[in-house]
């Protein structure tokens, strides 16, 4: 009986020992599992933190790309449409990155898209820079052409003014001058002899004499000379005898004249006398204004006093 009790006690002690061992093993396994779970949890948090940082880096990089497009848009009108489109694509991608869950797969996909956008931006900016340089060349060529055109216009104006001066000088040089002008009242005697007088009541005609100056520029040939004599009462002498006669001056205006004469001019000094006819009572006392024209061009004038 005692031996049986002792055997039972020994078995019970043996079972308790095995139970303790099992409990110990289970405790170790439990703590190991908890430790591993804690390690995995900590590792997962670190990974997610890293992924979130990568996500923020992507957002910043995409925002920088979008901002760089905006800067270029301000002075690249020729590429504005394309640059607007690229910038809008980048902004959409920024929004997508902000909304996405940061995972290794999604980050890898977006990083690839960012790299593509970076290459496209580089190519577009290279093209914009090329257009800038080409535009600078065109502007320089345009400015140079405008400068040369202005120089040619200025030269043309100078030549035009010089030609005008030369033409005026030629016209002046081609003008005949009436020199040594002498106007006087004439008495016609019964014998036909002519005698000058200072008294109006005795005068029958008016004689106007002058010298056409020497001029080698004017062509030789017959020249029409016109004399205009205005009386003190502002009438045209000679009209009562020959009626109203006119010639066209160099300005195209019609002028009435008192007497005319055609002479041959050979570029040398030529003495000319023109007689103005009148009827009784036409010649009165006072101051007369006498003018001379050759081929419609004014060549001189003087006054005449009669008592």
pLDDT tens readout for residues 153-178: 777 777 777 777 666 555 555 678 88
pLDDT for the residue 30 = 61
Return d(Cα 95, Cα 88) in angstroms, integer: 11
pLDDT for the residue 43 = 45
Least-confidence region, from 47-51, 196-200, 270-274? 47-51
Mean pLDDT of the chain: 75
Return d(Cα 229, Cα 284) in angstroms, integer: 12
- Tokens matching residue 38: 């804690």
Residue 70, classed as helix, strand or coil, is: helix
Residue scoring higher pLDDT (44 or 208) = 208
Return d(Cα 152, Cα 148) in angstroms, integer: 6
Least-confidence region, from 63-72, 153-162, 187-196, 298-307? 63-72
Strand pairing report for 297-306 and 286-294 = antiparallel
Using alpha carbons only, how large is the chain's radius of gyration in Å?
61
Residue range 215-258, pLDDT digits in tens:
888 888 999 999 999 999 999 998 888 888 999 988 899 999 99
- Residues of the chain with pLDDT > 70, as a percent, come to 55
Question: Residue 129: how many CB atoms within 10 A of its CB?
Answer: 12
Residue scoring higher pLDDT (204 or 25) = 204
Residue 32, classed as helix, strand or coil, is: helix
Residue scoring higher pLDDT (207 or 45) = 207
Return d(Cα 286, Cα 307) in angstroms, integer: 6
User: Is the predicted pLDDT of residue 282 greater than 50, yes or no?
Assistant: yes
Residue range 291-301, pLDDT digits in tens:
999 999 998 99
User: Is the predicted pLDDT of residue 111 greater than 80, yes or no?
Assistant: no
pLDDT for the residue 101 = 61
H helices within 80-211, ranges in order?
A: 80-99, 104-173
DSSP code for 307: -
Question: Domains in the chain, ordered, with CATH?
Answer: 2-128 (no CATH), 178-306 (2.60.40.2560)
What's the whole-number mean pLDDT along residues 90-98? 66
pLDDT for the residue 39 = 47
DSSP code for 236: B
Residue scoring higher pLDDT (298 or 48) = 298
pLDDT for the residue 38 = 46
Residue scoring higher pLDDT (3 or 64) = 64
pLDDT for the residue 41 = 45
Contacts of 182 by beta carbon, 8 Å cutoff, 6+ apart? 208, 209, 210, 302
Residue range 71-87, pLDDT digits in tens:
555 455 555 565 566 66
Angle between helices 80-99 and 104-173 (to 10 degrees): 160
pLDDT for the residue 153 = 77
Phi, psi of 306 (to 5 degrees): -125, 145
Return d(Cα 287, Cα 304) in angstroms, integer: 6
Residue scoring higher pLDDT (66 or 219) = 219
* Burial (CB count within 10 angstroms: exposed 0-12, middle 13-18, buried 19+), residue 281: exposed
User: Is the predicted pLDDT of residue 149 greater than 60, yes or no?
Assistant: yes
């Amino acid at each position: 009986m005692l031996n049986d009790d002792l055997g039972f006690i020994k078995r019970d002690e043996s079972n308790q020992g095995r139970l303790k061992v099992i409990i110990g093993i289970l405790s170790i396994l439990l703590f190991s599992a908890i430790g591993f779970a804690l390690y995995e949890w900590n590792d997962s948090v670190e990974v997610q933190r890293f992924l979130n940082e990568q996500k923020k880096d992507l957002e910043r990089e995409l925002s920088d790309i979008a901002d760089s497009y905006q800067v270029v848009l301000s002075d690249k009108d020729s590429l504005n449409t394309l640059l607007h489109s690229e910038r809008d694509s980048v902004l959409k991608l920024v929004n997508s990155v902000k909304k996405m869950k940061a995972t290794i797969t999604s980050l890898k996909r977006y990083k690839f898209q960012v790299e593509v956008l970076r290459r496209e931006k580089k190519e577009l900016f290279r093209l914009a820079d090329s257009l800038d340089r080409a535009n600078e060349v065109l502007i320089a060529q345009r400015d140079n052409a405008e400068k040369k055109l202005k120089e040619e216009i200025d030269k043309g104006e100078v030549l035009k003014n010089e030609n005008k001066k030369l033409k005026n000088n030629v016209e002046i040089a081609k003008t005949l001058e009436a020199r040594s002008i002498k106007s006087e009242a004439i008495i016609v005697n019964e014998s036909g002899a002519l005698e000058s007088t200072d008294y109006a009541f005795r005068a029958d005609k008016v004689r106007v004499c002058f010298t056409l100056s020497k001029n080698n520029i004017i062509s030789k040939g017959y020249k029409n000379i016109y004399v205009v004599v205005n009386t003190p009462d502002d009438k045209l002498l000679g009209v009562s005898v020959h009626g109203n006669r006119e010639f066209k001056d160099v300005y195209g205006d019609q002028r009435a004249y008192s007497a005319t004469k055609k002479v041959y001019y050979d570029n040398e000094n030529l003495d000319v006398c023109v007689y103005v006819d009148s009827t009784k009572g036409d010649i009165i006392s006072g101051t007369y204004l006498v003018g001379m024209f050759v081929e419609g061009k004014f060549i001189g004038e003087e006054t005449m006093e009669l008592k």
